[in-house]
Amino acid sequence: MNELLKKSAAEQSKALKNKEISAVELTNAAFERIEEVDGKLGAFNSLTKDIALETAKKVDEKIARGEELPLLAGVPLALKDNMNLKGSKTTASSKILENFVSPFNATISDKLLNNLVPIVGKANLDEFAMGSSNENSAFKKVHNPWDLNKVPGGSSGGSAASVAACEATLALGSDTGGSIRLPASFCGIVGMKPTYGRVSRYGLIAFASSLDQIGPFARTVEDAANLLEVISGHDPKDSTSLNLPVEHYAAHLNDDIKGMKVGVIKELMTDALSEDVQKAVQKAIEDYKKLGCEIVEISLPNLKHSIGIYYILATAECSSNLARFDGVKYGYRTPDAKNLLEMYTKTRAEGFGPEVKRRIMLGTYALSSGYYDAYYKKAQQMRALVTQDFIEAFKKADILISPTCPNTAFELGAKASDPLAMYLTDIATISANLAGIPGLSVPAGFDRDGMPIGLQILAPQLQESRLFNAAHKFERANDYYLKLAKI
C-alpha cells in the first residue's frame, strides 16, 4: 500500500501543498488500493474514476498556478450510495434502483466538487440505509477490515470500511438511528452525526426525513471536523436546513477542557455491556478525569423507550418515503404485469429486500386508521419526552458519554434471523436522532480479539465545536487512532 494512504487528510493536504505528491497520483493510489482489497471487502458498489481524476487534475492545476487550495482539496473520498452524484449510479444498494443513473447532484456532492474533493466511488450500504450490519445490501455484504468474518456495522458499512481499509481517506454516511456512529465504532474510526438541519439532505435518498442526517467519517477527529465544515451550510432546496453561518470546527480542537462536566449516561452503563466495552468506557472516564474534567452521573429515564419510539416513527416515515418507488417514473419495473395494480405490487415485491418490506409494513400499520393514535401519535409524544431528558441532562453536563454499542463487531450472519437482536444494537445511538443533537464515535480501545471499541460523545444542539474539542482531547490522550486494520 502507498504509505501516503495511511496518513490523515490533514497530512495528505500538506503533502499536496508541498508538492511531495500530485493529486492525480494520490487519487490513482486510492484506486490501486481499492483494486487490491475491495474484492474481499465489498465496500464499493461502483467507482467514479473519471469524476475523481478530473477533480484531481483541477487540484494539480491550481497548485501549479500557486493558488490557494480549498479545504480538503485532492483528498480521496467515498460517497455513500444513497447520495446523488450526477452521471453515477445511485442505487441505495437496492434492486429497485440497480440501474438508476443520477441526473443531478446532491447539495453535498456540489459542495465536495466545489472544494475539489475527488469522489472515488459509491459506497455499499444496507438497502435504503435500513440495517445495523450491512448484510442487507441487494448486491453483496460488506466485511469488516479488522476481521473479514465480521460485520462492519450499518447502515453506512461501506463508507466506514473504505476509510478503515485506507481505500479512501474520508467518507460520507447518513445517520438515521446510528448508521454513522455504529460502523465507525465497529471499524475503529471517527464517525459523526451533526445536529439535525446542519447539513442539507437535498439529493439524499430519504429513509426517515425527520431523523436522517449526513455526516463525516475519518481516521482523526480533525479530519472529521474539516469535512463537516465543507458539507455544512444553509440550503434553500432543503426546508429543514438551518440558516446559520458555517463554523470553522477545527479551530477549537485544542481548547482546554479542564473543568468541563462530562456526564456518564447511567442507563447505558449496564450489565448488558460486554466486559471489554465496559473496561474501555471506564478507562475513558479515567482519561477525562486526567484531562481535568468533572465526571457526573446522568439519567435519561425515557431512553429505554427509544428503540420502540424509533421503530414506529422511522418505519412510518419510510413507508411514506418509499411509496415513490413504484416502477412508473424511474427504477426497476416488473416485466410481466397484466395491469397497473399488478405492475405496482410485483415491482415492489421483486424490487425491495426483506428488511425494507418489513419496515414498510410496520410503518403502514402504525399509520393506518384505528392505530394512528395508539402508535404514531404516542411515539411522537414520547419523542418529545426523550428530547426533554437531554435538555435537562445538558443543564448538569457539557457533554455526555456512553459506549457507542454494547458490543464489538459480531460474526456475519449471527443476528440475521433475529430482527429484534439486530435492532437492539442501536440502543445507545437512536436517542440522539430522536432529539436532533450531534453525536460522535471515537476509537476507545480494542477487545480481547483485537476488534475496535467506540466511545460515543453527545453534545447539545449546534454544539459541534464542543463535541469535536472533547473528542480530539480524548483521541490525543491515547494512540488508538494510529492503529490500522490489517487487511
Give the three-class secondary structure for 80. Answer: strand
Nearest-angstrom CA–CA distance, 381 and 370: 17
Report yes or no: 81 and 120 within 8 Å, Cβ to Cβ.
no
Positive/negative CA dihedral, 114, 115, 119, 123: negative
* Cβ-based neighbours of 477, under 8 Å, separated by 6 or more: 287, 290, 291
Report yes or no: 127 and 353 within 8 Å, Cβ to Cβ.
yes
Provide the grid cell at 322: 418509499
The region that residue 150 occupies, defined by phi over 0 for left and psi between -120 and 50 for alpha, beta otherwise, is beta
Report yes or no: 227 and 78 within 8 Å, Cβ to Cβ.
no
Look up residue 373 and give its DSSP letter. I
Nearest-angstrom CA–CA distance, 301 and 315: 24
Nearest-angstrom CA–CA distance, 385 and 378: 11
Nearest to 325 by CA among 463, 205, 423: 205
- Residue among 155, 159, 232, 402 flagged as catalytic: 155
Nearest-angstrom CA–CA distance, 179 and 176: 6
Nearest to 355 by CA among 177, 139, 130: 130
**What are the DSSP calls for 122-142, one per residue?**
EEP-SGGG--SSS---SS---
Is 239 a catalytic site residue?
A: no
Is 88 a catalytic site residue?
A: no
- Residue among 13, 179, 319, 465 flagged as catalytic: 179
Is 80 a catalytic site residue?
A: yes
Nearest-angstrom CA–CA distance, 87 and 101: 6
**Residue for cell digits 471489554?**
276
Nearest to 216 by CA among 471, 487, 445: 471
Nearest to 211 by CA among 14, 482, 431, 61: 431
- Residue among 80, 141, 150, 193 flagged as catalytic: 80
Active site residues: 80, 155, 179
